[in-house]
Amino acid sequence: RQERVTLEIYDVLGQKVSTLVDGMLQPGQYAAMWNGANNSGVRVATGVYFYRLQAGSFISVKKMLLLK
């Protein structure tokens, strides 16, 4: 059954930088790529960021490093 899925990028201060996915998806495997820009299309600085994946009641937060 479909679940609401969100994939968001946050900076080290906890501020949302970008939303990559926000919608209803069927079960399955998906891929998403972040181009290093915020929601306004401006490239962000090199550094540590976090991505937060929520699918229904499942939530996962992981750390990543953006290098230019």
We report the CATH number of the domain holding residue 44 as: 2.60.40.4070
Long-range CB pairs of 38-47 (<8 Å, 24+ gap) are 43/68, 44/11, 44/17, 47/11, 47/12
pLDDT of amino acid 68: 87
User: What's the rounded mean pLDDT across residues 12-39?
Assistant: 97
Q: Nearest 5°: CA angle at 42, between 36 and 43?
A: 35
Structural domain boundaries enclosing 60: 3-66
Say whether pLDDT at 22 is over 90: yes
pTM (predicted TM-score):
0.92
| Domain count within the chain | 1
